[in-house]
Structure 1
Amino acid sequence: MQLKDFPVTLFQPEKGNEKEYTVIIYHGWGGRGQSFYEMAEETAKEGFNTIVPELIYHDTRSPLENPFDKKTMQKYFWETIFKSINEFEAFTRALKLEKKKLILVGSSMGGFIASGIYAAHPEIAGLVCVNGSGSFLFTEKLFRKMDNRDFLSKAELDLFKKYDPIGKVKSNSPVLLIHGDKDTIVPIEGQKYFYDYLLQNDENSRVTFNIHNDVNHKFTSEMVDEVIEWMNQADSSL
């Protein structure tokens, strides 16, 4: 589906099998929406209208020549996340989507995006973050430690605090966090930090954190099955 600003691919369930909620799947850094078409087909078979959006600096939206160059990643990784959060309002208007009927699923960077949108729009029906993080500032500090980079400037700190779900999440919508315990790309500590924060928030008690042993930065078939099972359970309880 080619909208002026938001190219997406839609997957629709068979007539008579439609569920009330729509799933949006966000892919990871340097990836393509196409890599999640198979999963989208599965969620559509379960009855969910499913949308796979193209992300800025990816797919056909000003893609970067070498996204895995370290300097390129450091410059555009968070910019992609923040821009995706910013454009969500216009995105839902363009597709005529009702936020309270949306379940967001994100893998890796897509998990950051989904978590940021969830925090900015507490009416969202549900969140799934796989191998990502909803603790932006905490995770960026981990990234910088891994890369031996300088501390954040005051301007950078202020920018992260503007988007960081930590301190902002005010929702009772169900949340599923999944992470491999051997992840060398996005440290699991960031996901744990977000999980601990959500548990401290009395308004949200429907949080699940599943850790997959001996799994690196990979969205496994077992994780896909886990997500679909969780969505079906969430659909019946929303």
Structure 2
Amino acid sequence: MEMMCSFETEFVAIERIDIEGIPCLKIRPKGSRGQLPTVIFYHGWSSNKEYQKFRGVSLATYGYQVILPDALHHGERNPIQYDDPKMMEVYFWKVVLQNVEESRTLIQEIVENHDGDPWRIGVMGSSMGGFSASGVFVHNSQLKCLINFNGSCAWAKAEEIFRQIGKIPPADPSHLEMLAQYDPLQQKEALRGRPILMLHGDGDSSVPIDCQRVFYQEASPLYKDAPEKLRLQEIPRLDHYITTGMLEEAILWLKKYL
């Protein structure tokens, strides 16, 4: 396991690390020692770990260790031409599913070699990273909480909406069958009572909010004993962005549930 390129600011220490072939940034409060509650933050389509560094630093100043991995075909992992619509059609779900497949090893290494508190690990993501974070959360029962910015916890519904608005062409049936095997909404029993915060602009033109509304409606019965642990916060008139207020709400959620 290779480590390199570490430096400090006034508040945090930032280190470029490699976890089982996944390039990551590890950000910790400056001077911290030993295990810390840890947030894994997944970036969106065409982004990378470096572009999310400021958000990682913001979280770390509140006492969290933050791990920012590069997704497949992003950052240091063989990037592609993101502006080509065919690239999203071919690679979007491959990237999301790869993040899910890699997550168990990533979490294990964070605990064993990077002082992640095994009982206090949360996952967060933006846009495509929100899709990824949702899949990672449902397939790793030890994770404490999920925060999804402008992504979706209902993959098949999102796929349907993407096709309706012309982002991608009609699907092959085998593709939909494969997607259903990983769709968090299809595995929702694994989410029962586990804290989930969804923050989404109601004017989002890239990932329409309807897919999160569907998830919220269908998952709500699983939270009848603790409805406060499932929250969909809709931001009026906001397109596909993360506001300062959304990041603040995410930090409050971490303080409560991580």
TM normalised by structure 1 equals 0.91
105-114 or 1-10, larger mean C-alpha shift: 1-10
Deviation digits for residues 47-78 of structure 1 (CA, Å, limit 9, x no counterpart): 111111111110001111x1121111111011
Match for residue 84 of structure 2? Answer: 69
Q: Which moves more between the two structures, 108-117 or 37-46? A: 37-46
Please name the residue that 1:84 is paired with: 99
Is residue 203–residue 237 contact of structure 2 (8 Å, CA) maintained in 1? Answer: yes
2:22 aligned partner, one-letter code: F
Shift of residue 38 of structure 1? 1.1
CA contact (8 A) 2:36 2:117 kept: no
Q: CA deviation at 1:204?
A: 6.5
Alpha-carbon distance between aligned partners in 1 of 2:176 and 2:130, rounded to the nearest angstrom? 21
- Which letter maps to 2:109? A
Paired with 1:117 and 1:233, the residues of 2 have a C-alpha distance of: 21
Q: Per-residue CA shift, 1:172-219, capped at 9, x if unaligned?
A: 221100000110000100111111122122476311111111110001
Check 1:67–1:204 CA distance in 2 against 1; reply closer, same or farther (3 A cut): farther
* Superimposed CA distance per residue, residues 15-73 of structure 1 (whole angstroms, 9 cap, x where no aligned partner): 46988520111110011211211111111111111111111110001111x11211111
Q: Which residue of 2 aligns with 1:192?
A: 213
- TM-fit CA distance, 1:233: 2.0
Q: 1:229 maps to which residue?
A: 252
Aligned residue pairs, count: 234
2:120 is the alignment partner of 1:101: yes
Name the stretch that deviates more: 13-22 or 172-181.
13-22
Contact between 1:54 and 1:61, CA under 8 Å: does it hold in 2?
yes
**In the alignment, which residue of structure 2 is the partner of 1:59?**
75
| Aligned counterpart, 1:208 | 231
Q: Deviations over 1:92-120 (max 9, x none)?
A: 23333565421111000000000011111
- Mean Cα deviation higher: 185-194 or 95-104: 95-104
Structure 2 matches for 1:165-180, cutoff 5 A?
165-169=184-188, 170-171=190-191, 172-180=193-201
Select 1:35's aligned residue among 51, 58, 61: 51
Q: Which runs of 5+ in 2 are unaligned?
A: 1-16
Cα contact 1:25–1:50 (8 A) shared by 2: yes
Within 2, Cα distance between the matches of 1:182 and 1:82?
27
Confirm or deny: 8 A CA contact 1:141 1:151 kept in the other structure.
Answer: no
Indicate the larger mover: 164-173 or 55-64.
164-173
Relative to structure 1, is the Cα distance of residues 106 and 204 closer, same or farther in structure 2, using a 3 angstrom cutoff? Answer: farther
Q: 1:148 to 1:14 in 2, by over 3 A?
A: closer
Q: So what's the TM-score if we normalise by structure 2?
A: 0.84
Task: Check if 1:121 corresponds to 2:136.
Answer: no
Match of 2:22, SS? Answer: coil
